[in-house]
């Protein structure tokens, strides 16, 4: 592309402020749609993954993330699928860590299922990663295998131990699943808090066709909180980590418990987040079908002017909020794309 088609240089560093006055400072990046597990609320067992040729290269992901850092992003979370199954993913982590060194980025972190964490925990810490989220819905090995279809929970436990040994703070994310793990939440909380880890509960989200009805999986967190309050003292906190969770302190354990409630109470009023898929598609809202192609402008020019202008246009269309619903009549998801494609 010649210079006449590119944006004014000022756009490269223009803060990203959406139509509702929210400044975008948090970027979640899916580095792959692939995963070594098949959690039944997230994927079908016979998932068809994207051709590898469709994925951005790690160098392109680095350039894309760096463009967002230049425009004011202060926190980057790498996600998947499972980010640690992406070949040579640590080269991306090492490269992005330069923004931590310069002070342009406050935090570089990731969400993982923990299966590969024992291999990479020390290297992540060496790159400046200070905390990770580990997705774990049960402490029962058989139940874990049923949820993930073939997972080995001991690998997750080993990954968590390796992360803590490397000095990483660990937070456990658990999806609340009706008639499956809802009765286990107190035990999961006590275990996590006993090991110095926070626990965040998440309502199942109607994203992607997984071959099963979400109504059979969904349990409102308001119900689980009410159950917990019969046995524990929960005090609301003002803590804000930049994510969608609302937190309480549990007096009896001393630990923190978070609630992410996309179904019963959306968390949109303070949303400062956008998501990029492994193919370079920008989603400004998890619960909408909005999509902006960043791969085309990224590859159209070595200059980031066109890319930055495309980002600005997308941010200018960010909706006020989402309204997830579970379609009981037709048993179909609110959003057609899978969470593994969007980035968890």
pLDDT in tens, 302-332: 999 999 999 999 999 888 765 545 444 444 4
Residues 60-103 have pLDDT tens digits of 999 999 999 999 999 999 999 999 999 999 999 999 999 999 99
Residues of each annotated binding site:
28, 35, 39, 41-42, 77, 81, 111, 135, 171, 205, 268, 271, 273-275, 285
Residues of each annotated binding site for [4Fe-4S] cluster:
35, 39, 42, 268, 271, 285
Q: 176 near 223, Cβ under 8 Å? A: no
State how far the Cα of 202 lies from the Cα of 175, in Å rounded to an integer.
5
Residue 5's pLDDT is what? 44
Phi, psi of 64 (to 5 degrees): -65, -50
State how far the Cα of 266 lies from the Cα of 69, in Å rounded to an integer.
27
Q: Collect contacts of 1-9 with beta carbons under 8 A, ≥24 apart.
A: 1/300, 1/301, 1/303, 1/306, 5/306, 6/301, 6/303, 6/305, 6/306, 6/309, 7/305, 7/306, 7/308, 7/309, 7/312, 8/305, 9/305
Per-residue pLDDT at 336 exceeds 60: no
The position carrying tokens 């998947």 is 80
CATH of domain 21-342: 3.20.20.70
> Tokens representing 283?
């989603």
> Tokens representing 267?
């968390």
Phi, psi of 13 (to 5 degrees): -120, 15
CB atoms within 10 A of CB 224: 18
> Tokens representing 268?
């949109």
Instruction: Find the length of the chain.
Output: 344
The position carrying tokens 């597990």 is 37
Residues of each annotated binding site for S-adenosyl-L-methionine:
41, 81, 135, 205
Three-class secondary structure of residue 257 per DSSP = strand
State how far the Cα of 205 lies from the Cα of 41, in Å rounded to an integer.
8
**The whole model's pTM is what?**
0.87
Give the pLDDT mean for 203-216: 59
327 forms beta bridges with 332
Residues of each annotated binding site for GTP:
28, 77, 111, 171, 273-275
* Confidence band, pLDDT 50/70/90 cuts, at residue 182: very high
Cα–Cα distance list, 303 to 6, 10, 16, 169, 279 (Å): 8, 13, 19, 37, 19
Per-residue pLDDT at 193 exceeds 70: yes
DSSP classification of residue 56: P
């Amino acid at each position: 592309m010649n210079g006449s088609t590119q944006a004014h240089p000022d756009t490269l560093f223009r803060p990203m402020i959406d139509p509702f006055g929210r400044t975008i400072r948090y970027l979640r990046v899916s580095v792959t749609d692939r995963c070594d597990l098949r959690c039944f609320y997230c994927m079908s067992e016979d998932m068809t993954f994207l051709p590898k040729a469709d994925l951005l290269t790690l160098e392109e992901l680095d350039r894309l993330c760096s463009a967002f850092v230049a425009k004011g992003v202060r926190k980057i979370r790498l996600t998947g699928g499972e980010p640690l199954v992406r070949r040579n993913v640590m080269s991306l982590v090492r490269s992005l860590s330069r923004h931590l060194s310069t002070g342009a980025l406050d935090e570089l972190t990731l969400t993982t299922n923990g299966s590969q964490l024992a291999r990479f925990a020390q290297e992540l810490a060496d790159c400046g990663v200070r905390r990770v989220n580990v997705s774990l819905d049960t402490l029962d090995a058989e139940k874990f295998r049923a949820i993930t279809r073939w997972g080995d929970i001991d690998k997750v436990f080993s990954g968590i131990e390796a992360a803590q040994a490397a000095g990483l703070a660990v937070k456990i994310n658990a999806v609340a699943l009706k008639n499956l793990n809802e009765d286990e939440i107190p035990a999961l909380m006590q275990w996590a808090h006993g090991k110095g880890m926070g626990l965040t509960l998440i309502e199942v989200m109607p994203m992607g066709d997984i071959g099963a009805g979400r109504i059979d999986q969904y349990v409102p967190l308001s119900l689980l909180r009410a159950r917990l309050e019969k046995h524990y003292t929960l005090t609301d906190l003002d803590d804000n980590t930049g994510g969608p969770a609302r937190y309480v302190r549990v007096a009896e354990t001393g630990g923190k418990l978070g609630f992410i409630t996309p179904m019963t109470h959306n968390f949109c009023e303070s949303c400062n987040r956008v998501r990029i898929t492994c193919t370079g598609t920008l989603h400004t809202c998890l619960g909408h079908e909005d999509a902006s192609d960043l791969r085309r402008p990224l590859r159209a020019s070595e200059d980031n002017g066109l890319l930055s202008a495309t980002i600005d246009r997308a941010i200018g269309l960010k909706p006020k909020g989402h309204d997830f619903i579970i379609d009981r009549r037709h048993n179909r998801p609110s959003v057609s794309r899978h969470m593994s494609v969007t980035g968890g």
